[in-house]
Amino acid sequence: MPLSLFECEPPLLGARARAPVLTFCLKYLLFLASRVKASNTSKHMQPLEQTSRQVSDATKALIAAAREAGKQSQTPISAQDYLKMSLPQARRLEMELQVRVIELEATLSRERERLGQVRRANYHKSGDSQA
């Protein structure tokens, strides 16, 4: 039985949670809601399906709200602010941004590799438990 999201990562849902983290958490809840199972002949099947749909609808609304909040929290720098910079300041900013992009790309690559490892491990575990 999988641990609940709250048992796994309680700090994720704190007051300073970021929109992408909330979006991930909510998508995980959608995933769990979609995995509700009961026998087709069970008297509990209809209420389970209805509750699952309600959870899915509410979660989708929360995902949309989290994305909107994330968009609003980002304050872009206008082109006018860049035009006010001196040439050395602009070049320095350009280099800093390029370094940041390279660092983020490297981090993304490492995290994708870790995600692949976790997925492979979970796939093997689920295969072992099915047998």
Task: Report how far residue 80's alpha carbon sits from residue 89's, in angstroms, rounded to the nearest whole number.
Answer: 14
Q: Per-residue pLDDT tens for 83-127? A: 888 888 888 888 888 888 999 999 999 999 999 999 999 888 877
Query: What local confidence, expressed as pLDDT, does residue 4 receive?
Result: 47
Query: What local confidence, expressed as pLDDT, does residue 130 receive?
Result: 62
Task: Report how far residue 130's alpha carbon sits from residue 119's, in angstroms, rounded to the nearest whole number.
Answer: 16
Query: What local confidence, expressed as pLDDT, does residue 10 receive?
Result: 45
Q: Is the pLDDT of residue 5 over 80?
A: no
Q: Is the pLDDT of residue 39 over 90?
A: no
| Tokens found for residue 103 | 């660092």
Query: What local confidence, expressed as pLDDT, does residue 111 receive?
Result: 95
Query: What local confidence, expressed as pLDDT, does residue 115 receive?
Result: 94
At residue 91's C-alpha, the angle toward residues 88 and 94, to 5°, is 150
Between 52 and 116, residue with greater pLDDT: 116
Q: Per-residue pLDDT tens for 56-86? A: 788 788 778 777 776 766 656 676 778 888 8
End-to-end CA distance of the chain: 16
